[in-house]
Chains A and B, each alone.
Chain A
Amino acid sequence: MGSAPITNRVRELRFHAGEMTQAQLAEQVGVTRQTIVAIEKQSYSPSLELAFRIARTFGVTVDEVFTYEER
């Protein structure tokens, strides 16, 4: 439970992608808006497949979106 050790820049990347909405990103990667909300709040770590789909939507690599924080 609680926040995962994986941080992400999804919110920032959405902003730089013409202020893409959570709903638009959700539709493009095939999940619900609530899942994008949970990923941005870092209360849910997406699967590898979804991480790749998000990164490709923004035209960047996975490690430019997600970072594993050692604790």
Chain B
Amino acid sequence: MSYQEQRSVLTMASGVTIFIVFFLLALPRFHALDPAVLSDGTAVLRWGAGAMLVFIASSIVIRILLMILFSIFYRIISGEEPPEIEDERDRQIELKVNHVAQTLFILGFVGALVAVRIGASPVGMLLVMAISGVISEVVGESTRIVLYRRGF
């Protein structure tokens, strides 16, 4: 498995793990909210937006740390330096991966709007958006692995 493929697997695994851990941490806090807050749609949306911002910020920090550790372990285990340059093939694959991931995320965004329209709560809408983000990342990184392995 090449450096890029290993990095994709790590990105997928960490994305799913961070989401599950965050969800498990946020769920009891949501249930512990004051009933007055829970009955106010705007307040619930504000709480959900805050939780999502914390999720996004912590994901970025954890990812950066994981990638640094991955580069260090890759050097030690494989005895090779991680590729320092990004060439034309990497850029073409990146474009295709972004296209797949963005399409899925947009579908998730539309799905979130549909969910609200048919009666989901504001937190339900944010949850649909977050799940679509995780799915788009998993499918995008899977696409990257396929493109690196099979060519295009």
Binding site for B on A (CB under 8 A): 1-4, 30-35, 38, 41-44, 46-47, 50
* A30–B87 CB distance below 8 A: yes
Kindly identify which residue among A2, A32, A46, A47 contacts B150, using a CB–CB cutoff of 8 Å.
A2
| Besides A32-B85, A34-B3, A38-B151, 18 other A-B contacts (C-beta < 8 A) | A1-B152, A2-B150, A3-B151, A30-B85, A30-B87, A32-B89, A32-B90, A34-B89, A35-B89, A35-B90, A38-B89, A41-B151, A42-B151, A43-B150, A43-B151, A46-B88, A47-B88, A50-B88
* A31–B85 CB distance below 8 A: yes
Kindly identify which residue among B3, B4, B89, B151 contacts A31, using a CB–CB cutoff of 8 Å.
B89
Binding site for A on B (CB under 8 A): 2-4, 83, 85, 87-90, 148, 150-152
Min CB distance, A51 to chain B, in Å? 11
* B151–A2 CB distance below 8 A: yes
Closest to B87 in A: A31
Max count, chain A CB within 10 A of own CB: residue among B3, B85, B87, B90: B87
Q: Give bound CA distance, A11 to B151, whole Å.
A: 18
* A35–B87 CB distance below 8 A: yes
Beyond A47-B88, A50-B88, is A34–B4 a contact (Cβ under 8 Å)? yes
Closest to A47 in B: B88
* B4–A44 CB distance below 8 A: no
Chain A residues near B2 (CB-CB < 8 A): 34
Q: Give bound CA distance, A32 to B5, whole Å.
A: 14
Min CB distance, B3 to chain A, in Å? 8
Q: Give bound CA distance, A50 to B4, whole Å.
A: 21
Chain A residues near B87 (CB-CB < 8 A): 30-32, 35
Q: Give bound CA distance, A50 to B89, whole Å.
A: 11
Minimum-distance CB pairs A-B, first 7: A43-B151, A31-B87, A35-B89, A32-B83, A44-B151, A34-B2, A35-B87
